[in-house]
Structure 1
Amino acid sequence: MLQVLLLISLYEYGHGIYPAAYLSVGNAARLGHAMGLHARDVPQMLPRCTTWTEQEERRRVWWGVLILDRISNIGHRGKPFASAEPSPDMHLPTDDTAWDRGQMLATAPLSLSASQTIRASSFARACQSVHLAGKVCRHIDDKTIPLDYRFEEALELHKTLKALAALLPTEAEGEDPTAGPTLCSSLAICYSALLTLYDAYGCSERSVPDAPESQLVMQKESIQGIAEVCESVLLLGRKIGQRIELGEGLGRLSPLTVECMYEAGASYAWYLRETSNPQYGEKLAEVKELLRLFEKRWRVAGQYLLYIDEFWQYGCMGNPDPLATRTVLGQHWRRV
């Protein structure tokens, strides 16, 4: 039942069916809580696991709930997550190849609090990325954080995400896309989380008077970071496009990779309007071409294209904020 809800949620998310996707993920989270998948020290609906495979399956299913719950809230902020925050000692999914073969590895399980430098499977990397994305959403939505701590926490999230975003491309260099899942989804989630964080701190009009110096530091990091991340998103899109053209096809394209393409496209559209720099026009055209390609598999990419074109034609609803483009358009289509 829970796996069915996850498949339905993924389909609805990938095709831009809102608010159905948000509600389906919520149903999956509620069922997972009732079954006791979120923690070991709570009443369990299911019999005790007798095999490693069974335990790993439950762990992976619950991480699937956490991923969809958090990724569906990016750009749709202001609403609480349906699932609880995972504990630092929660185990990450094991090696994907071993799992597919049903082989139990003689290695210690990797916990969520483990160092990012420890090599992990592609699914585990996606879990690490989405955990940080969830922290970003909670940070932005929590208005009770003391002012002197808010900017310090934002800088810490920035550093942690940047470190993971720098590590993943190196790990992805030697991966074989035909052998199993790749790190593309992990990278895409990481980039979306960074752009979401920068969106909250990059505009001077949102600056708080008499705030600590860390506010200015975070603002500078955000303004510089959004341009750098957009470049990284474009590189990721090119890599995915090349794999599709070389025969991998659209069947393996994850819907989790589409969100960051839209965010980068919306940013390039704003840069082009403000500067009239033809380089931004070329990058915008390339992102839109990638979204057209992705639309053949996931219809949400077509929705993103429409709203990027809407911004380009009419402007961001009179909003002068350069980083509000993604937020305004993202909330708009998700209300449909």
Structure 2
Amino acid sequence: MVLTDDIQTFVHGIPIEREFVGIYFNSIHPWMPFLSEKLFMERVLSPLGPARPESTMLVATVKLIALPPPNLVARSAIYKSIKANLLSAEALGLLELKIFQSLVLLSLYELGHAIYPEAYMTIGHCIRYGHSLGLEKTVEQDSPAGLDNLEAEERRRSWWAIVVLEHLMTLGCVDRASPVGHPKNTSLLPADDMVWEVDGQQDVIQHRLCDPPTATMGRFCLTAQAAILLGKVFMQIHDPANDEGMRDHEARVLENTIAALTEVSLQEGRLRGVGVCSPTTICYR
């Protein structure tokens, strides 16, 4: 894959110029922590190896989302070029985790800047690309052979990131079918953020979607649970098949579950010193 010149110019100076990397990991990463900072620094920004196109695209999307758009125009020329290069990667059959992660960041950029309907389309495209990589399987099984704990967890968190974004996207188009599907109750949730980021190689407690929420699960784990509950609320509202008595019962169960998760997320915020937690925000929606 040959990247266009403007992409090369946009990331010129990497890894010397790293200010935007710090902005990303200090401002954006805490509430959507799916990129491993350790792997990003060692394998993406490392000057020791040749610059691979998928790594360059990941750096470009990190820079795109970390810095204000030129002249405060969200649909900037570099945004359009990044989007075109990512589509070119798919057309060339390039299946790489870093391309998927770039698409997640592009989706997040479009959602954050209210670029519609592109955000809806990009999220759907990202989900299909993730299916091509088999990432949906990462939440249904333990780490596959050949991957260490850090890499396996990053793949799992990357899939959860697009699941969360897809459920948030549904807020604006609740009558459209979800392409991501519904995780099982036994699906593996993201590990505790603090443990994963401090030492991703050590064994961590692996929670499942059916587990009751606790303040020590980690913010991203609780965010994933909140997003799934949000999806169940949409199903409850727009599913006319259930009889009224059953719907009332399910509504009460959902209300109690959301209330419990809200309380836990507030506890987690106090425990970690976070003013507003992303799971709390989703619960209040």
TM-score by length of 2: 0.60
Matching of residues 1-336 of structure 1 within 5 Å = 1-39=99-137, 48-117=145-214, 119-177=216-274, 184-192=277-285
Aligned equivalents of 1:189, 1:156: Cα separation in 2: 17
Note if contact 1:49-1:55 (Cα within 8 Å) is conserved in structure 2: no
Aligned equivalents of 2:272, 2:199: Cα separation in 1: 21
Gaps of at least 5 residues in structure 2 are: 1-98
Cα displacement string for residues 104-128 of structure 1 (whole angstroms, at most 9, x for unaligned residues): 3344311111111362111111111
For 2:280, what is the secondary structure of its paired residue? Answer: helix
* Contact kept? 2:138, 2:156, Cα under 8 Å: no
Amino acid at match of 1:144: A
> 1-side partners of 2:203 and 2:131: how far apart?
30
Query: Distance between the aligned counterparts of 2:267 and 2:198, measured in 1?
Result: 26
Letter in structure 1 aligned against 2:175: G
Identity of aligned residues (%): 33
AA matched with 2:169: S
Q: Report how far residue 147 of structure 1 moved.
A: 2.4
Single out whichever of 10-19 and 114-123 deviates more from structure 2: 114-123
CA distance in 1 between counterparts of 2:203 and 2:278 reads: 27
Q: Is the 8 A contact 1:3 1:61 kept in 2?
A: yes
- Contact kept in structure 2, 1:10 and 1:68, CA below 8 Å: yes
Aligned residues: CA RMSD: 2.1
Q: Tell me if the contact between 2:149 and 2:200 (Cα under 8 Å) persists in the aligned partners.
A: no
- TM-score (ref. length: structure 1): 0.51
Task: Kindly indicate whether the alpha-carbon contact (under 8 Å) linking 1:92 and 1:112 is maintained by their aligned counterparts in 2.
Answer: yes
1:30 CA displacement: 0.9
- In structure 2, distance between residues paired with 1:33 and 1:161: 29
SS of 2:242's equivalent in the other structure is: coil
The gaps in structure 1 that reach 5 residues or longer are: 193-336
Return closer, same or farther for 1:141/1:49 CA change in 2, 3 Å cut-off.
farther
- CA distance in 2 between counterparts of 1:96 and 1:173 reads 15
